[in-house]
């Protein structure tokens, strides 16, 4: 439970000593202005995140890989993507090998710090999007707190909550990512690979913002409010 | 930074693209470049992806998923094009992108659509990088060119379709719902109905709507008024029984035949069940009878009066329109117009020869300018002259006077038949253009020896002479002597080339076209002065320099290309350019005349559609190429 206490301690010491440069990078990231969430979907940058883990327990399971895909002005640019391998995991290697890609060696220790800083720099302060935020966000925030000793504290939008509200015409009772992907005929390159899933989720986000814009939810802030209202409704009922 | 995520997504994109042409054939490097530089965009159902209002096409779209409906928006005509649907793997707006123009079509998502989008700069970089892709794009443009021509023809075809022919089925000819009455109706009822509806005939049908008789206006007199028949009697007592019927699918010819065989004026069109569907009258058929080429020629050759020739000239116009419709190229059409105009002119000459005795003299009627080049369009005035042989025993002045009198009559008759008198007095009735062979030769030689501006101008008109009537060998002798002169005179050719270069193609550096040449008609390009002329002038220099006897621009360029080592591609390109400008002129003139204006050559590039503008631009570039050749040959 060390990560938990560190998370609330804020700037407490990370597991690895940080170099001055790394500290500067983190400070620079912290200095970044908060994003304007009231700009149109088509005038801002979202970062869609997905993770590969050893299991579904956010406290005990390990985070292997983070996949992140930027959505800038409503478009996906393949160069605006990131894959962060934090630990070796059999499923990742298999999937990656099947794709014929070079498998980057998992990073650990000091390299993990560099990788996490790269992730911070990649994300900036963009609003984050994921499918099943409670799990993804917890995993990502935990590793950042452990590795860099920071509190991530960026807004997360959960498509699992937003989409059923915007697509009431679609039966989404299963509430699974796969169901949405099937419905919108979005192919996965390698299902359960973090990058592939983040890419597929980013396409879901494209569909979502288009529908949102038509229904008057034209900004990241409006999606956040929609999600909040829906969660509130469910919790009170 | 070595980015494994990018790597994975690019690889997936490449894999997708490789399933579709032209990407399946594309070089690996180029394909990779493409996949690295696209962005994936999404459009919900019903969203407008690209349209002409959005300005210059910003990106190349490659459909990744979903369907897109394409509809032509704007364009020159009001023709509705059938909508096309694009699916995954298909790219669009290549034409607009290459031309850096707004698209002429509207692209709308028919369902949720995902599109790879390649920014314009990367698109151009890709065409540089990949020959496969570059070829694909140029073939695409060539396809557009063909489409444009088809559209052009479609526009005319619609008009032609309205002009029905004798081959049209009766279903097309029958215009209004037939009016019929049962056999029990009284004569009074029938006559009142006919008067009320202005009908020339009435069909009587049985309970099954099958015609049993017909009653026409002419029957009223013979069968009712004269016999003093009571109007209360049933119509069946006075109708003609068993009327002639034809199925709806029969054509106008069949109807005409039936009328001729039975000596009747009406034929009833019936459907498969024998039910009345319409009435075809003799008058309907008269209106259909358009003139065919053979009839026109026959009419012209047999004409004994100007009236007939006037009509024939109108028929020529109609028929050339039909040719335009049926996809005839500019070359064929202009030649066709020239040929038929020749026929009219010859007939007028023959008719006048009856009144003017020129027996025993060798002479020929010459045509100059566009007529001399076989390149007449719908508007053309007279450019003609006479060459004759004056033997020792003849008085030159007297002989010329006889020819001038004759020429005056011919010129006037031509004017009557729709060839307006030449404003510049380039007509055979002008004493300066009614000369003996020696005088013509001397005149030509003089122009060639002293190429002053007026002489050069004359060269552009008179050196394109062609015999039209009389002793053709006189014209041939003129041609040989002219070519002898020009061959030995490089200075003249150089001056003529310089003269040809005095007008440049109206291509702009910033805007596509320069339209300010004529202050009285801003926004227009004179396709004769700044279009056709560029080609004809260059072709003339080539011809005179290389002893080519032809006067027709296309023939001249074809022969010159063999002698001057043009590549066959270059030749084809310049001929296409020339013909396209001619086609635009023909279309424009026809349009102007339809609206009661004298057909000029001033077109507004803004009113052309995107494809036409592109082709016109290319046509002008071809003219520039010809001019470049002149500059090179004569070091200008």
Asked if residue B302 and residue B253 are part of one domain, the reply reads: no
Q: What is the extent of the structural domain holding A175?
A: 2-32+40-236
* DSSP type of residue B169: B
Asked if residue B432 and residue B525 are part of one domain, the reply reads: no
Which B residues in the span 63-102 are in contact with A, Cβ-Cβ below 8 Å? 65
**Whether A83 and B117 lie within 8 Å, measured CB to CB:** no
Per-residue pLDDT of chain A (237 residues; tens, 9 = 90+): 444 444 444 444 555 678 889 999 999 999 999 888 999 999 999 999 999 988 888 888 888 999 999 999 999 999 999 999 887 544 444 444 444 444 444 555 677 888 899 999 999 999 999 999 999 999 999 999 888 888 888 999 999 999 988 988 887 666 688 889 988 989 888 888 999 999 999 999 999 999 999 999 999 999 999 999 888 887 766
* Nearest beta carbon to residue B12 from set A69, A74, A189: A189
Residues of chain B with pLDDT under 50: 1, 74-82, 158-163, 290-291
A215 touches chain B (CB under 8 A): no
Asked if residue B316 and residue B224 are part of one domain, the reply reads: no
**Whether B9 and A185 lie within 8 Å, measured CB to CB:** no
**Whether A185 and B65 lie within 8 Å, measured CB to CB:** yes
Task: Give the residue from chain A lying closest to B41, CA to CA.
Answer: A75
> Chain B residues with CB inside 8 Å of A196's CB?
8
A105 touches chain B (CB under 8 A): no
Residue-level pLDDT at B475 = 93
Could you give the CA distance from residue B269 to residue B467 in angstroms, rounded to a whole number? 53
Residue-level pLDDT at B595 = 76
**Whether A195 and B4 lie within 8 Å, measured CB to CB:** yes
B41 touches chain A (CB under 8 A): yes
> Chain B residues with CB inside 8 Å of A52's CB?
none
Residue-level pLDDT at A98 = 42
Which residue spans within B142-270 are E strands per DSSP? 180-182, 201-205, 211-216, 240-241, 245-247, 266-270
* Nearest beta carbon to residue B44 from set A76, A79, A211: A211
Is there a domain that residue B482 lies in?
no
Is there a domain that residue B459 lies in?
no
Tell me the CATH number at B324: 3.30.460.10
Q: Which of B1, B3, B5 best tests the A interface by mutation, with the highest count of A CBs <10 A?
A: B5
B111 touches chain A (CB under 8 A): no
Q: What is the extent of the structural domain holding B263?
A: 170-288
A113 touches chain B (CB under 8 A): no
Asked if residue B296 and residue B269 are part of one domain, the reply reads: no
**Whether A199 and B9 lie within 8 Å, measured CB to CB:** yes
Residue B552 in contact with residue B561, Cβ under 8 Å?
Answer: no
* Nearest beta carbon to residue B13 from set A78, A82, A214: A78
**Whether B7 and A100 lie within 8 Å, measured CB to CB:** no
Asked if residue B300 and residue B445 are part of one domain, the reply reads: yes
Could you give the CA distance from residue A37 to residue A48 in angstroms, rounded to a whole number? 15
Is there a domain that residue B458 lies in?
no
Residue A136 in contact with residue A177, Cβ under 8 Å?
Answer: no
Tell me the CATH number at A172: 3.30.420.10
**Whether B8 and A99 lie within 8 Å, measured CB to CB:** yes
Asked if residue B212 and residue B63 are part of one domain, the reply reads: no
Q: Tell me, letter by letter, the H, E, C secondary structure of chain A.
A: CHHHHHHHHCCCCCCCCCCHHHHHHHHHHHHCCCCCCCCCHHHCEEEEEEEEECCCCCCCCCEEEEEEEEEECCEEEEEEEEEEECCCCHHHHHHHHHHCCCCCCCCCCHHHHHHHHHHHHHHCCCCEEECCHHHHHHHHHHHHHHHHCCCCCCCEEEHHHHHHHHCCCCCCCCCCHHHHHHHCCCCCCCCCCHHHHHHHHHHHHHHHHHHHHHCCCCCHHHHHHHHHHHHHHHHHC
Task: Give the residue from chain A lying closest to B40, CA to CA.
Answer: A76
**Whether B5 and A207 lie within 8 Å, measured CB to CB:** no
Single residue among B288, B305, B340 that ends a domain in this structure? B288
Residue found by looking up tokens 């299991």 in the block: A55
> Chain A residues with CB inside 8 Å of B41's CB?
74-76, 206
A182 touches chain B (CB under 8 A): no
B311 touches chain A (CB under 8 A): no
B38 touches chain A (CB under 8 A): yes
B6 touches chain A (CB under 8 A): yes
**Whether B44 and A199 lie within 8 Å, measured CB to CB:** no
* Nearest beta carbon to residue A78 from set B36, B42, B117: B36
Cβ-count burial of B26 within 10 angstroms (0-12 exposed, 13-18 middle, 19+ buried)? buried
**Whether B40 and A189 lie within 8 Å, measured CB to CB:** no
- B407-443 pLDDT per residue, tens: 999 999 999 888 888 888 999 999 999 999 999 999 9
> Chain A residues with CB inside 8 Å of B43's CB?
210
Is there a domain that residue B460 lies in?
no
Asked if residue B137 and residue B59 are part of one domain, the reply reads: yes
Is there a domain that residue B479 lies in?
no
Give the gap in angstroms from C-alpha B568 to the nearest C-alpha of chain A.
45
Asked if residue B298 and residue B284 are part of one domain, the reply reads: no
**Whether A81 and B3 lie within 8 Å, measured CB to CB:** yes
Residue found by looking up tokens 């204006």 in the block: B597
**Closest of B322, B177, B200, B173 to residue B254, by C-alpha:** B173
Single residue among B111, B134, B157 that ends a domain in this structure? B157
* DSSP type of residue B21: T
Task: Give the residue from chain B lying closest to A189, CA to CA.
Answer: B12
> Chain B residues with CB inside 8 Å of A207's CB?
42, 44, 112
Is there a domain that residue B188 lies in?
yes
Q: What is the CA radius of gyration of chain A?
A: 18
* Nearest beta carbon to residue A81 from set B5, B38, B65: B5
Q: Partners of B279 in the beta sheet? A: B268
Domains of chain B: total: 4
Residue B42 in contact with residue A203, Cβ under 8 Å?
Answer: yes
Residue-level pLDDT at B60 = 93
Task: Give start and end residues of each alpha helix (H) in B303-436.
Answer: 306-325, 330-353, 369-372, 396-416
A154 touches chain B (CB under 8 A): no
Single residue among B439, B471, B503 that ends a domain in this structure? B471
Asked if residue B331 and residue B437 are part of one domain, the reply reads: yes
Residue A200 in contact with residue A188, Cβ under 8 Å?
Answer: yes
Tell me the CATH number at B260: 3.10.580.10
Asked if residue B378 and residue B361 are part of one domain, the reply reads: yes
Asked if residue B304 and residue B186 are part of one domain, the reply reads: no
Distances (CA, A) of B277 to B23, B171, B268: 56, 8, 8
Asked if residue B144 and residue B21 are part of one domain, the reply reads: yes
Residue-level pLDDT at A138 = 92
Residue-level pLDDT at B307 = 80
**Whether A78 and B38 lie within 8 Å, measured CB to CB:** yes
Could you give the CA distance from residue B554 to residue B153 in angstroms, rounded to a whole number? 22
**Whether A78 and B47 lie within 8 Å, measured CB to CB:** no
> Chain B residues with CB inside 8 Å of A68's CB?
5
> Chain A residues with CB inside 8 Å of B9's CB?
69, 78, 81, 189, 195, 199
Give the gap in angstroms from C-alpha B56 to the nearest C-alpha of chain A.
20
Q: Which of A78, A92, A202 best tests the B interface by mutation, with the highest count of B CBs <10 A?
A: A78
Pairing of strands B180-182, B201-205: parallel
Q: Which of B4, B115, B116 best tests the A interface by mutation, with the highest count of A CBs <10 A?
A: B4
B112 touches chain A (CB under 8 A): yes
- A58-100 pLDDT per residue, tens: 888 888 999 999 999 999 999 999 999 887 544 444 444 444 4
């Amino acid at each position: 439970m060390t990560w938990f206490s560190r998370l609330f301690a804020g700037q407490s010491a990370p597991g690895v000593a940080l170099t001055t440069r790394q500290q500067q990078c983190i400070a620079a990231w912290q200095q970044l202005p908060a994003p304007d969430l009231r700009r149109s979907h088509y005038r801002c940058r979202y970062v869609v995140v997905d993770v590969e883990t050893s299991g579904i327990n956010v406290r005990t399971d390990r985070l292997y890989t983070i996949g992140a895909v930027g959505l800038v002005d409503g478009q996906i640019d393949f160069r605006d993507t990131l894959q962060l391998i934090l630990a070796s995991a059999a499923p990742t290697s298999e999937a990656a090998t099947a794709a014929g890609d070079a498998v980057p060696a998992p990073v650990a220790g000091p390299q993990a710090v560099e990788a996490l800083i790269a992730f911070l720099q990649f994300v900036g302060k963009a609003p984050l999007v994921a499918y099943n935020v409670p799990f993804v966000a917890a995993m990502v925030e935990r590793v950042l707190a452990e590795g860099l000793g920071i509190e991530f504290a960026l807004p997360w939008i959960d498509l699992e909550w937003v989409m059923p509200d915007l697509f009431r015409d679609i039966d989404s009772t299963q509430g699974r990512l796969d169901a949405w992907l099937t419905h919108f005929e979005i192919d996965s390159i390698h299902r359960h690979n973090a990058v592939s899933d983040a890419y597929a989720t980013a396409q879901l986000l494209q569909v979502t913002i288009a529908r949102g814009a038509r229904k008057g939810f034209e900004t990241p802030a409006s999606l956040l409010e929609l999600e909040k209202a829906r969660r509130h409704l469910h919790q009170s009922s | 930074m070595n980015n494994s995520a990018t790597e994975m997504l690019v690889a997936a994109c490449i894999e997708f693209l490789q399933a579709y042409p032209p990407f399946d054939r594309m070089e690996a490097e180029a394909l990779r470049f493409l996949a690295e530089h696209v962005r994936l965009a999404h459009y919900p159902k019903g969203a407008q992806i690209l349209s002409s209002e959005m300005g210059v096409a910003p990106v190349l779209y490659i459909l990744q998923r979903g369907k897109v409906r394409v509809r032509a928006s704007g364009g020159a005509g009001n023709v509705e094009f059938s909508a096309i649907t694009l699916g995954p793997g298909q790219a669009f707006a290549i034409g607009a992108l290459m031309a850096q123009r707004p698209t002429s079509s509207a692209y709308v998502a028919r369902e949720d659509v995902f599109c790879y989008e390649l920014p314009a700069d990367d698109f151009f970089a890709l065409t540089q990088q990949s020959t496969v892709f570059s070829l694909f794009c140029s073939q695409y443009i060539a396809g557009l060119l063909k489409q444009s021509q088809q559209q052009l023809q479609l526009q005319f075809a619609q008009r032609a379709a309205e002009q029905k022919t004798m081959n049209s089925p009766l279903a097309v000819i029958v215009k209004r719902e037939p009016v019929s009455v049962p056999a029990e109706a009284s004569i009074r009822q029938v006559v009142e109905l006919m008067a009320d509806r202005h009908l020339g005939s009435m069909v009587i049908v049985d309970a099954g709507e099958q015609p049993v008789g017909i009653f026409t206006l002419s029957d009223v007199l013979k069968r009712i008024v004269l016999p003093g028949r009571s109007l209360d009697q049933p119509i069946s007592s006075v109708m003609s029984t068993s009327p002639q019927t034809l199925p709806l699918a029969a054509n106008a010819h069949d109807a005409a035949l039936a009328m001729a065989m039975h000596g009747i004026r009406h034929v009833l069109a019936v459907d498969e069940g024998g039910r009345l569907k319409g009435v075809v009258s003799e008058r309907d058929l008269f209106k259909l009878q358009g003139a065919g080429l053979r009839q026109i020629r026959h009419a012209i050759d047999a004409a004994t009066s100007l009236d007939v020739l006037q009509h024939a000239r109108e028929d020529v116009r109609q028929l050339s329109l039909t040719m335009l419709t049926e996809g005839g190229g500019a070359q064929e059409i202009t030649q066709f117009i020239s040929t038929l105009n020749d026929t009219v002119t010859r007939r007028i000459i023959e008719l006048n020869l009856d009144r003017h005795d020129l027996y025993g003299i060798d002479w020929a009627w010459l045509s100059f300018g566009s007529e001399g080049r076989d390149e007449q369009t719908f508007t053309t005035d007279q450019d003609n002259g006479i060459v004759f042989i004056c033997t020792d025993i003849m008085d030159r002045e007297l002989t010329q006077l006889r020819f001038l009198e004759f020429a005056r009559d011919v010129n006037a008759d031509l004017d009557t038949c729709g060839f307006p008198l030449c404003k510049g007095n380039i007509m055979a009735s002008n004493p300066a253009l009614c000369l003996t062979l020696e005088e013509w030769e001397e005149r030509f030689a003089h122009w060639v020896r002293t190429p002053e501006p007026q002489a050069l101008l004359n060269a552009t008109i008179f050196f394109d002479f062609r015999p039209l009537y009389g002793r053709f060998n006189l014209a041939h002798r003129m041609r040989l002597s002219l070519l002898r002169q020009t061959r030995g005179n490089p200075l003249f050719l150089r001056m003529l080339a310089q003269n040809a270069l005095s007008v440049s193609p109206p291509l702009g550096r910033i805007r596509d076209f320069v339209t300010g040449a004529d202050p009285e008609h801003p926004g227009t390009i004179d396709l004769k002065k700044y279009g056709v002329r560029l080609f004809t002038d260059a072709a003339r220099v080539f011809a005179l320099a290389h002893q080519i006897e032809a006067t027709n621009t296309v023939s001249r360029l074809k022969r010159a290309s063999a002698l001057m080592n043009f590549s066959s591609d270059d030749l084809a390109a310049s001929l296409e350019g020339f013909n396209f400008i001619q086609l635009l002129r023909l279309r424009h003139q026809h349009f102007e005349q339809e609206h009661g204006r004298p057909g000029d050559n001033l077109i507004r590039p803004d009113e052309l559609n995107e494809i036409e503008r592109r082709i016109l631009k290319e046509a002008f570039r071809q003219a520039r190429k010809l001019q470049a050749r002149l500059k090179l040959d004569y070091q200008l």
